[in-house]
Amino acid sequence: MNDIDSQKQLLKRSVEAKDIFIPHISADPVVFGFDRNELKVLLAKMHYKKQWLLPGGYVGKDEDLDEAVVRILKSRAGVTNVFLEEFGVFGKKNRSEFYFEDFDETLFQKQRFISVGYYALSNSIDINPVADEISEICEWVYLKQLPEIDLAMDHREIIEKALLTLREKISYKPIGYNLLPEKFTFPELQKLYEAILGKELNRGNFYRKIKNLGILKKLEEQRRGGAHKSPDLYSFDQENYARALENGLNSW
Amino acid sequence: MNDIDSQKQLLKRSVEAKDIFIPHISADPVVFGFDRNELKVLLAKMHYKKQWLLPGGYVGKDEDLDEAVVRILKSRAGVTNVFLEEFGVFGKKNRSEFYFEDFDETLFQKQRFISVGYYALSNSIDINPVADEISEICEWVYLKQLPEIDLAMDHREIIEKALLTLREKISYKPIGYNLLPEKFTFPELQKLYEAILGKELNRGNFYRKIKNLGILKKLEEQRRGGAHKSPDLYSFDQENYARALENGLNSW
């Protein structure tokens, strides 16, 4: 789609949006996946401008905010069945003023929006992102690639806040259930923790701490097919995992 | 102020508000204090209706959201110098529809608002709440009194979510610096933890855990004047406390 067509499309959307949505509030989902020992995040690029964006959207006049973000993620990225949790609100007055610079103030999308950030952890192999009609592309981008790409508005800050929230959560909640496959090895779990924390962990300490939490069960089977000794497979002990989620890892 | 006057006042405010504020977004501060071994929260009652409310307000057209909540708390309750942290967004579509039932839809205050909740911990002896002109009263209410009082809209839910957030935070961050006086006894700190957690703690376990965190320093002086043996006084070790805030109580 060329520049003129993409601008026409946004103008048409603006007219529709004024009927459907309340102004000034948007929601941005930050969906994390874990793949090849790396964290990645779901991003989209609109036909208009070639910058990456979170697949966000607006809140319907007759829609709860929690319903809105689920609908937005489905319509903008084709993603369903992830648990979205609010982690921050982004309310700087000029946060998006440059993005729609080609339009005048009557464009719905150009007004001031305060955006509510939601994050989700997903087993990314179950998710095939689908771009909507205003997007050229919607796909996973590895966090390590983020420094090199052009992210619009304050979406870099939103992703960083989501990651910080995840990093804080990992200190008092178990993490992994939604990010890892059903069966995984201990080194895979460690790689996940290292990816979230952004640092390497001592193998022995990590092993001991995780064991003490009691959230894992060792399976009878080993993984086959590698060149090395078959590694042990684990899965989460659902009951203990749920209890640790509920009570925190270190209760008073 | 009688019913007619309070309604006139809100109508006048509505006209002004349309010029000053963006619609659909509000902010509600939940300020906690700790006094007589009990948690309390700052609430106001408007002249209009005799229900309790958080001292919330709207966001200026030319104001960041973070600036707005500070201004709101100052203008509605006379409170400054507390650290406000966002903890949740309340976006049900009908959350406030009954409150302004005496007005038609043109009242600014009656439209749909999505409210951003901020909580703060305060040393309540430094705070003397001052009601603004739309309020009959603004004062501390003990949490244990909440079941008996008439709270408007979803403000009970907002306070409960703030308390849950505090309860979760206490599992991985030190708490007390803003809630306790500079010098305090060990039993006072335990009472604070018990008030937040809503349960009694074993004295020996609590003592051992807190000692292990290294966030306290024992002072040379004792508290005088009681009938019993003078209890030891403590204060927070600023450096270790700051480090525990930064890194969490249990890092990986």
Q: What is the mean pLDDT of chain A?
A: 93
**Taking CB atoms and an 8 Å limit, are B248 and A171 in contact across chains?**
yes
Tokens representing residue B19 in the block: 């010029």
Mark whether A153 and A240 lie in a shared domain.
no
Mark whether B29 and B135 lie in a shared domain.
yes
Name the nearest CA neighbour of B180 among B233, B140, B118: B233
Of A61, A88, A168, the CB nearest to B248: A168
Say which CATH number the domain at A28 has. 3.90.79.10
Per-state percent for chain B, helix, strand, coil, to nearest 5:
35, 25, 35
Mark whether A165 and A216 lie in a shared domain.
no
Mark whether B122 and B195 lie in a shared domain.
no
Give domain status of residue B171, yes or no: no
**Taking CB atoms and an 8 Å limit, are B66 and A168 in contact across chains?**
no
| Residues of chain A positioned with their CB less than 8 A from the CB of B193 | 252
Q: Read off the pLDDT of residues A98-152 as tens digits, 9 standing for 90 and up.
A: 899 999 999 999 999 999 999 999 988 888 999 999 999 999 999 999 999 999 9
Q: Distance between CA atoms of A116 and A96, rounded to whole angstroms?
A: 14
Mark whether B71 and B144 lie in a shared domain.
yes
Give domain status of residue B173, yes or no: no
DSSP element (H, E) containing A122: strand A114-122
Mark whether B146 and B194 lie in a shared domain.
no
Say which CATH number the domain at A193 has. 1.10.10.10
Tokens representing residue B144 in the block: 């244990």
DSSP element (H, E) containing B92: none
Q: Read off the pLDDT of residues A54-84 as tens digits, 9 standing for 90 and up.
A: 999 999 999 999 999 999 999 999 999 999 9
Mark whether B133 and B225 lie in a shared domain.
no
Q: Distance between CA atoms of A138 and B186, rounded to whole angstroms?
A: 55
Mark whether B122 and B33 lie in a shared domain.
yes
pLDDT band (50, 70, 90) for residue A221: confident
Give domain status of residue A53, yes or no: yes
Give domain status of residue B141, yes or no: yes
Inter-CA distances, A196 with A28, A39, A128, A245, B25, Å = 20, 7, 22, 18, 32
pLDDT of res. A226: 64
Of B64, B112, B252, the CB nearest to A91: B64
Give domain status of residue B180, yes or no: no
| Residues of chain B positioned with their CB less than 8 A from the CB of A164 | none
Domains identified in chain B, total number: 2
DSSP element (H, E) containing A89: strand A85-90
Q: What is the mean pLDDT of chain B?
A: 93
List the domain range (segments joined by +) for residue A148.
3-169
Give domain status of residue A18, yes or no: yes
Q: Which of A136, A169, A202 finishes a domain?
A: A169
Name the nearest CA neighbour of B85 among B98, B66, B71, B102: B66
Tokens representing residue B137 in the block: 């009263």
Mark whether A48 and A153 lie in a shared domain.
yes
- Report DSSP state, residue A143: G
Mark whether A19 and A102 lie in a shared domain.
yes
What average pLDDT does the segment B49-76 reach? Answer: 97
Give domain status of residue A210, yes or no: yes
Given a cut of 70, is residue B128 above it in pLDDT? yes
pLDDT of res. B97: 79
Chain-centroid distance, C-alpha A167? 14
Q: Distance between CA atoms of B146 and B205, rounded to whole angstroms?
A: 30
* B221 or B239, higher pLDDT: B239
Of A23, A64, A209, the CB nearest to B93: A64
| Residues of chain B positioned with their CB less than 8 A from the CB of A116 | 89, 91, 114
